[in-house]
Copies of this chain bind each other. A is one copy, B any other.
Amino acid sequence: MIRLAVEPLTRQAFAPFGAVLQTDGAAHYPINQGNTTRYHALAEAETDPAGRAILSIFRGVPRPTPISITMLERHPLGSQAFMPLSDEEWLIVVADRPKTESLRCFRATGGQGVQYATNVWHHPLLVLARAQNFLVVDRDGPGENLEEVFLDPQAEIVL
């Protein structure tokens, strides 16, 4: 069992895995006669040519603590974005290779979403305090868009 360090989520630290969806530090400009600020193109949905980007809502519930990290998944045909719909912290676990020693764990604020780039290994949704909804933008279409690996040894997150 390996205990994961929990890092704050920043654009720089997450760059190898995809995009962070947040207003802080993002390029922006006024629209709608000054009544709206557009933080533009924080991410671009990726799909294979046969796929399409769809919008869904995921509702996650907290897992028992300490949180066991026993597997990772990835989507070879498109990106997957998660944006929290309530202001609660949540966790993100990613890896450049599907190995326990490659795991990285980020703690996001309720104002931060992420988009996993195509083919990036990640753990399924991890919420903390209570049930939390997310808007999810990912790829739908023909073909197999899910790979899973099980980790040995497992890891755990102690908060």
Contact = CB atoms under 8 A, between A and B. Distances in A.
A60 B85 contact: no
B59 A42 contact: no
B113 A31 contact: no
Interface residues on A, range: 35 or more
A83 interface: yes
A45 B137 contact: yes
Nearest to A125: B36
A38 B55 contact: no
A56 B41 contact: yes
Q: Copy number in this complex?
A: 2
Contacts of A124: 31-33, 35-36
Interface string A9-49: 00000000001011100100001110111111111110000
Contact of A55 (B33, B42, B60): B42
A38 B133 CA distance: 10
Given A85-B85, A135-B21, A35 B60 contact: yes
A58 B45 contact: no
A53 interface: yes
A22 B53 CA distance: 17
B56 A52 contact: no
18 contacts: A21-B135, A26-B57, A32-B124, A35-B63, A36-B58, A36-B59, A36-B125, A39-B56, A39-B58, A41-B55, A41-B140, A42-B55, A42-B57, A45-B55, A53-B53, A55-B137, A85-B85, A86-B87
